[in-house]
Structure 1
Amino acid sequence: MTLTTAVLRPYKKLKMLVVTSFEIDSISSLVAIFYGVFRLTVHDQLPTPASSVLIVSTPQVPLSLLSDKIFCLYITGHLNSVFSIHHREEILRYIYCHQNSDGGWGLHIEGHSTMFCTVLNYICLRILGVGPYEGDDNACPRARKWILDHGSATHIPSWGKTWLSILGLFDWSGTNPMPPEFWMLPSFMPMLPAKMWCYTRMVYMPMSYLYGKRFVGPVTPLIMQLREELFNEPFDQIKWKKVRHSCALEDVYYPHPLIQDLMWDSLYIITEPLLTRWPFNKLIRERALQVTMNHIHYEDENSRYITIGCVEKVLCMLACWVEDPNGICFKKHLARIPDYLWIAEDGLKMQVFGSQLWDCCFAVQALVASDLSLSEIGFALKNGHFYIKESQVKDNPSGDFKTMYRHVSKGSWTFSDQDHGWQTSDCTAEALKCCLMLSTMNPEIVGQKIDSSLLYHSVNLLLSYQSENGGLSSWEPAGAQAWLELLNPTEVFADIVIEYEYVECTSSAIQALVLFKKLHPEHKTVEIDDFIVKASKFLEDNQYPNGSWYGNWGICFIYGTWLGIGGLIAAGIHTTQGTIQFNSDFMGDDDAHFYRTDVEGSNATTPCSKTFDKFTTRKWRFSSTGNYGSFYEELHVTLSNA
C-alpha cells in the first residue's frame, strides 16, 4: 500500500516548519517519520534552560494594519521616536514584498488588490519618505495608477474613509455617520452596544469619538501633496456628499442592503445636523463624547493599554491623544506598541494580537502526546506550565463591568497573556486541558499544579458561554438577533455585528470539560454532563453533508474537521457511528483539495500565488532521503526578491 501524506520538517534557514510531501509505503513508516521530524523540531525550536523564549508562531495579518499605526504616529508626532531608521527599512521591505503584480495590495498576502489596502499602503510609503515616483520596482507610481484606474480614493471603503478623514485626505461629510450618542442608547432599543460582537464594538467606540469631534490631523505639505495624488479631480471640487456610499467593486464583500443605506441617509440628513447645532451640541453631543471617552479609558485600563486588538489599539491611542496630547493615557499607549510588532523574513509587520498562550498550549499538548522522554522535554513542559499558570486572568473587569458591556473573565485565558484581559472560550479550554494534563505528572519535573479553585472558575466561565443551540461563542455569550447583521456598516467584512457559536470553541470546551470531570468529579458534574450533551448535538447539527466541519478560526475544513471529530470522540461518540464514519469518508476523499480564489475578473497575481500556482500544477513527490525540492524554498526566494 502506498500512502501520500504531508509531514512537517524543520527548515533552519527560515526558522520555520516546512510542509513536504513524501511517498510512504506503510503506516509504520509514516509514524516513524513523524516522530523523527518531531524530535528534530523539538531540539531545534523549543526553549532551553539557557534561553526561556516563548513558543510563538509567525502571524499572517491583513495588509492594512501597519498603515494605521504609521498614520497615528505621524499625526501625533511620535513616528521618529517610535520607529528608528532600521524599523522603517523593515516596514518598507514588508510593504514592497507583498505588492501585487498590478501595483495594488490585497487584504491578505495572497489576496487580489483592493482600494482599501492599496490606498493605505501607498500613503504609508509616502509618510515613510518614499517619493511619488520612487519605491522598489516603481512601487508608488504603480500603486497610484491602480488607485486612479479604479475610481480614485473616493471609492475606498468606510474604514478607509474614516482614516483618510482623520489624516485630512477626505472630508468628514463624505463619511456615513458614526454618532457617539450610540453609547447612550437606553436598554429597550433593539440595537445596543451590548448586543454587538465585542471586536466590532471596540472598533466603533473610538471611531465614533473621532467622528463626533470631527478630528483632523495636521495638514502638512505631505498631506497637500497626497490630496493631489489620490484623486481624479481637484480635492476642493469633490462632491463629498455623493461619495458616501461609493466603494470599489474589488472591496465589496458585503454589499449594503437598501434598508441600511436608508438608515445612514436618515442619520446624515436629519440627525447629524441637529446634534451638531446649538443647543443639542451642548446638551447631547458633548455628553455623548464624554461617555464614549469613559468607555475608551475603561477598556484601556482593563487591558493594560493593549486593548482587544490592533485596529482598536491605534484608534483608542489616537482618541487619548486628541483628548490630551500630553496625558498619561497616551503615554501608556505608546509603551504597549511593541506588543504588536513582529519581525519576520518578509519584514516588520503588525500583529492582530499576540498568540503566545494559544501557541504555548498546543506545543505543550504535542509534547505530552509524544513518546519523547522527560529528560528531553521536561524543561519545556515546566516552562510552558509556568507561562500558562501565570497567564490566567484572576479577576473580572473592574467596577460594574456589566454596564460597560463586559462579560465575566475570572478564571479565563486570553489569546496572548494576562495583561490582554479579554477572555476567549477556546483559549480557556485549551489552557485548562494543559493544566489538567500536567497536574497528573511529577511536579518536580513539570512544576506545581494549579490551584483547584482557579480551575473551578475556568469551568464556570466555559459553562456560561453555551447558547441555547448547544454551541459556544468566542469572546462573549451569543444571543443577539440575527437581523442585526443587516446593519453591518463595513463593506469588506461580513458577519461581524453579533457574536456567533463556533465548532472549534465548542469542541475545545467539550474536551476540556470531559477531562476536568474525570479528574475533579466534585465540581458541577450535572451541569457538565448537560453541557456535553447539548454541545455534542451542536457539532452533529453543524456537520456539512460531505462529512466535514467548517473552521472559522483556521483554514479551514481540515482544521474544523479535526476539532469536530475531537469533540465528538471526547464526548463518547463511537467511531463507527454515523457522524464520524461519514467524516472519515471526507478525510479519505482524494478529491478534497484546497483552492485559492480571487475576485471574479481580477487578473492580479501575488508573489506568493505565482509560486503556489507553479508548484500545485505538478505532482511533487520527495524521497525521505537526499536532496529535497521544496515549495517553501522557492517561495522564500520569491518573497526575498519581490
Structure 2
Amino acid sequence: MTTTADGASRPKSPPPTGAPGARSASAPADGTEEAARRAVRRATDRLLDQQDAEGWWKAPFRTDVSYDAHDLFLRQLLGVLDERVAAASGRWIRSKQGEDGSWPLVFGGAGHLGTTVQAYVALRLAGHRPDEEHMLRCAAWVREQGGVGASQLTARVWLAMFGWWSWDDLPEIPPEIISLPAWAPMNIYSFSAVMRPALVALSVISAHRPVRPAPFGIDELFAPSDASTPSDASTLPGASASAGASTSSGRTPAPAGGWESAFHRVNTALRAYRRVGPRSVRKAAVNACVRWLLERQETDGSWGACTPMTTWVILALRLHGLPPEHPALKAAWGFLEDCAVWPEDDVREVQTVHSPVWDTCLAANALLDAGLATDHPALVRAADWLLTRQAERPGDWAVRRPRLAPGGWAFQFHNRSYPDNDDTAEAVLALCRVTHPDQARVDDAVGRAVRWIFGMQSGNGGWGAFDADNTSALPGKLPFFEYGEFCVDPPTADVTAHAVEMLAAVGKGRDPRTLRAVRWLLDQQEDSGAWYGRWGVNHVYGTGCVVPALVAAGVPGGHFAVRRAVTWLTSVQNADGGWGEDWESYADPGRVGRGPSLPSQTAWALLALLAAGERDSAAVRDGVRWLTERQTDRGTWEEPQFTGTLVPRAVAAWYGSYRHVFPLMALGRYVRHQGHGAVAADPAPGGTRPGPETPSPRR
C-alpha cells in the first residue's frame, strides 16, 4: 500500500512488465520524491492564494503585439485615439521589439513581417519618429523581407484603411455570403467559430472600403517590388480622400493554375460585381450581416469574448452607420477598456482574451492531483462558479446539431455563443472530482455536459474545438484568410483526448462512441510515436494529452501505441532532464520535440510517462528533478516562452497559468503514485458517481 499526499491509502501499480525504462518501484534514494513533495506543497499554497473570492482563477493571456496595434488603428480610424493611450500602448509594443528591428510571433522567435509592419505603424501613431534608431532598424528589416507587399493579408487590410494600400489588391469578401444556406458547399458556417464573426465583420468593412489617411506616410516600408495603388473607397468621417497613400503602381500577377487560379478568377468576378451589381442586393446583404453580428453580441459587450473579433465588429458597425452612443457600441467599447491592463502607469497592454473557465478547470484539477481534499472550500467555490458558467442556450454549433440540447462551457467569462469541447471536458473532470454539498446540481450539470459532448462528436469519431464535422477544404482555399487548413475546425487529437478522458471519468469509457474515439486517436499516432498538438506546442503537448486519455479509457500501459509514445518521449528528452519544443516545429519537422526545456512542456511529457506506468523510470525521475530544481522561491516556475497555440504557424499564445498548473499536476501525480487524474481510476470519496446511460443524440 502507498500513502498518498491526501492521507488515503491505495495499492500502487507497478509498471508494465518489460516496459522500456521501467525501474524498481522503490522510492528513489536521492531525495527526488521528497523534493517533489515540497514543491507540491509550495505550488499548492501559491495557487490557493491566487483564487478570486468568487471561486475562479484567471492568469494573463498574451499573444503578439499585432492586436495592441489593431486597438490603436481602430481608435485612429474612428477619431478617438487618446494621446495617453497611444503613448502607453507604444511603450508596450516597443518593449517587445527584437534586436534586428522586427517583432516576433513568440518570445525569442524570428521576426514576423505582418506583425512588424503593424507594430511600426502603431509606433508612428504613438509619436515615434521614422528617424529614430529603432524605427530605422525596423524599416530596413521590413524592406529586406520584401516590404509591405510581402506582408500578411491582415496587415494590408489595415493599411488600405489608411490609404497606404489599394483595396483593389485585396480579396473581395462579399457580404452576400451571409445569405448562403448552411447546406451550401460554402457558407459562413464552413469557417471555424474563431474566424466566423471576423469574416462577417470584414465583409461589411470590405463593402464600404473605408479610408481615413493618417497624418504621415510609410514609404520607408515599401520595397521596389511592392505593387498597389489607392482605389475607390468610402472616406471615413473627417478624412480627406487619399493623402499619404502609397504611390507605387502595378498589380500582382494572377497565379498560374489550381485552386489559387480559380479563386483569383472568382475574385475578379466579385470585383466586377461590386461595380455593376444591384445596390439593393448589396445593401440587404450588409444589413443581414449587421443583424447577424448584433444577435451574437455577448453580455459583456464583446463578440466571442475576445478583442480581435470585437475590434473588427466595432469598425463594421460604425461604418454601417451606428452612432457611437448606440448601446451595442457603448458595451463593446466597455469590453475593450476592460481588456486593457496597465502593468505600469505609463504602459498599456491589450489582453487578447480572458481565460477564467480554462484557468479554473486546470487549477482545480491540479489541486486535486496535488492531494487537496475534495471538499476543500476552494474547490467547492470553484465548482460553484463553474456551475454558473454552463451554457443554457444554443450557439452557432446548433447549426450542425439543431436537436442537441446545450450543456457546454466556453473559455471566457461571458461567451454563451461559442462553448467548446475542450473547456467542457476539463470542467466536467473538475466537477466530478469535487465533493459538493449539492451533489444533485453537479450531477445534472455533468449529465447535460456529457450529452452535449457526445452530440458534438464528429462522424470520424473525434472532436473539434467548437463545431462538429467542420471539415470542408474550401475555406482554406479562399483568399479571405491566410490560415489555410486552419480556417476550419476538424477533430484534433488533443481535444479528442480530453473528451475521452472525461468520458472515462464519468463511467463512459466502454460506451461505443468513446471506443470509436479511442480508435480514432490510435489511428492519429504518427510514425514517430507522437501525436500532433493543435492547441498547444506541439507534439509534446499532443502526446501529453493523448496517452493519459488512452490509459484512462482502458488502453493498457503495455499497448504498442503507448510504448511507442514512451520511446519517442524519452528520445527527445533534453540532457538536463526536461522537455521542450519550439513553436517553429509547426513549420519545420526538424524541430519536432526539440527546444529548450520548459516547465509546461516538461510537465506534459511527465503526465504521459506517468500514465504509461513509467513513474520509477530514469526519464521521469530526471524530469521531476528538473522541475523541483527550477521552482522559484514564490512556489511557481518562470516561463516567458509561448507554449499555447491559437492558429499553428500564425498565432501563438502565452498562458500565464501553464507554467504553474501543469507542473503541479505532474508533480502531484508523481508523489501520489497516480498515472492520471481520472475519477474512474482513482475515485474520490463522495465524488460524482457514473451517471445513467446517455441516449444517442438525434442528428
**Shared fold, TM over 0.5:** yes
Q: Secondary structure at the match of 1:500?
A: coil
Moved more, 575-584 or 184-193: 184-193
Aligned-pair distance for 1:319?
1.0
Whether 2:465 is the aligned partner of 1:474: answer: yes
Structure 2 residue 493 is matched with structure 1 residue 497: no
Contact 2:494 2:542 in 1 (8 A): yes
Tell me if the contact between 2:393 and 2:416 (Cα under 8 Å) persists in the aligned partners.
no
CA distance in 2, matches of 1:293, 1:25: 64
Following superposition, the deviation at residue 574 of structure 1 comes to 1.3
- Decide whether aligned partners of structure 1 residues 343 and 44 sit closer, same or farther in structure 2, where only a CA change above 3 A counts: farther
What percentage of aligned pairs have identical amino acids? Answer: 20
Tell me whether 1:485 sits opposite 2:476 in the alignment: yes
- Corresponding residue of 1:532: 514
1:321-367 Cα offsets, whole Å, 9 max, x none, are 22213222211110111453355699643334222111111111121
Matching residue of 1:36 = 38
Q: 1-side partners of 2:584 and 2:151: how far apart?
A: 19
The residue that corresponds to 1:70 in the other structure is 72
One-letter code of the match for 2:97? Q
| Structure 2 contact 298–416 (Cα < 8 Å) conserved | no
Per the TM alignment, residue 68 of structure 1 is displaced from its structure 2 partner at its CA by 0.9
Task: Provide Cα deviations, 1:11-61, integer angstroms capped at 9, x if missing partner.
Answer: xxxxxxxxxxxxx99278333222211211222332379955742333241
- Residue in 1 that maps onto 2:427: 431
| 1:507 matches 2:497 | yes
Given that 1:65 and 1:350 are in contact with CA atoms closer than 8 Å, whether structure 2 keeps it comes out as: yes
Read off the aligned partner of 1:388 and give its amino acid letter.
Answer: L
Cα distance in 1 for partners of 2:555, 2:191 equals: 35
Q: Deviations over 1:574-626 (max 9, x none)?
A: 112222222222233255664547699x9xxxxxx9999xxxxxx99989789
Counterpart AA for 1:270: A
2:287 to 278, 287, 290: 290
Question: What displacement does 1:315 show?
Answer: 0.2
Q: Are 1:200 and 2:210 an aligned pair?
A: no
Q: CA deviation at 1:471?
A: 0.8
Structure 1 residues 427 and 319: CA distance shift in structure 2, 3 A:
same
Q: 1:293 to 1:259 in 2, by over 3 A?
A: farther
Verify the 8 A CA contact 1:304 1:420 in the aligned structure 2: no
> What is the number of residues matched between the two proteins?
559
**Cα–Cα, structure 1 residues 74 and 406, in superposed 2: closer, same or farther, change >3 Å?**
farther
- Work out whether 1:589 is the aligned partner of 2:571: yes
**Deviations for 1:373-395, whole angstroms, at most 9, x for unmatched residues?**
57xx9232122112211211122
1:556 matched to 2:538: yes
Q: Relative to 1, partners in 2 of residues 1:625 and 1:566: Cα closer, same or farther, differing over 3 Å?
A: closer
User: 1:320–1:329: 8 Å Cα contact kept in structure 2?
Assistant: no
Is the CA contact 1:393–1:418 (under 8 Å) kept in the aligned structure 2? no
Q: Match of 1:386?
A: 384
Distance 1:133 1:354 in 2: 37
- Structure 1 partner of 2:394: 396
2:76 partner amino acid: Y
Deviations 1:244-269 (A, max 9, x none): 87xxxxxxxxxx88434323432443
Q: Is the 8 A contact 1:304 1:419 kept in 2?
A: no
Instruction: State the TM-score, normalized to the length of structure 2.
Output: 0.71
Deviation, structure 1 residue 457: 2.0
Query: Could you tell me how far apart the structure 1 residues matched to 2:480 and 2:455 are?
Result: 29
Which position in structure 2 is the counterpart of 1:367? 367
Which range moved further: 24-33 or 471-480?
24-33
Structure 1 residue 276 and structure 2 residue 275: aligned? yes
Whole-angstrom distance in 1 between the partners of 2:420 and 2:253: 36
**1:211 positional shift:** 0.5
Q: How many Å apart are 1:289 and its aligned residue?
A: 1.2
After alignment, is 549-558 or 346-355 more displaced? 346-355
Question: Which of 196, 205, 229 is matched with 1:210 structurally?
Answer: 205
Q: Whole-Å Cα distance in 2 between the matches of residues 144 and 109 of structure 1?
A: 21
Q: Which structure carries more relative contact order (alpha carbon 8 Å, separation 6+)?
A: 2
| Alignment correspondent of 1:333 | 332
Give the number of the structure whose residues are more often helix, by fraction. Answer: 1
- 1:16 alignment partner in structure 2: none
Structure 1's unaligned 5+ residue stretches are: 1-23, 246-255, 519-524, 603-608, 613-618, 637-642
Cα 1:625–1:208 change in 2 (3 A) is closer
C-alpha spacing 1:28/1:506, structure 2 compared with 1 (3 Å): farther
- 2:349 aligns with 349
Query: Aligned partners of 2:181, 2:105: CA distance in 1, in Å?
Result: 37
Residues 408 and 312 from structure 1, CA distance in 2 versus in 1: closer, same or farther, beyond 3 angstroms? farther
| Equivalent residue in structure 2 for 1:98, among 96, 108, 119 | 96
Alignment check: 8 A CA contact 1:488 1:496 kept: no
Which of 62, 78, 81 lines up with 1:79 in the alignment?
Answer: 81
Determine if contact 2:492/2:534 at 8 Å carries over to the other structure: yes
Structure 2 contact 481–487 (Cα < 8 Å) conserved:
no
The alignment yields a C-alpha RMSD, in angstroms, of 4.0
Change (3 A) 1:531 1:344: farther
2:407 corresponds to which residue?
A: 411
Pairing partner for 2:161 from 166, 169, 186:
166
Partner of 1:543: 525
The one-letter code of the counterpart of 2:58 is V
CA distance in 2, matches of 1:302, 1:478: 28
Supply the distance in 2 between the matched residues of 1:200 and 1:623 (Cα, whole angstroms): 37
Shift of 1:88: 5.1
Assess if the C-alpha contact under 8 Å between 1:503 and 1:564 holds in 2.
yes
The CA distance in 2 between the partners of 1:31 and 1:288, in whole Å, is 64
Q: What is the CA–CA distance in structure 2 between the aligned matches of 1:517 and 1:423, rounded to whole Å?
A: 23
- Describe the shift of the 1:381–1:44 C-alpha distance in structure 2 as closer, same or farther (beyond 3 A): same
One-letter code aligned to 2:549:
G
Structure 1 counterpart SS, 2:349: strand
State the match for 1:3 in structure 2: none
Does structure 2 retain, via aligned residues, the 8 Å contact 1:70–1:79?
Answer: yes
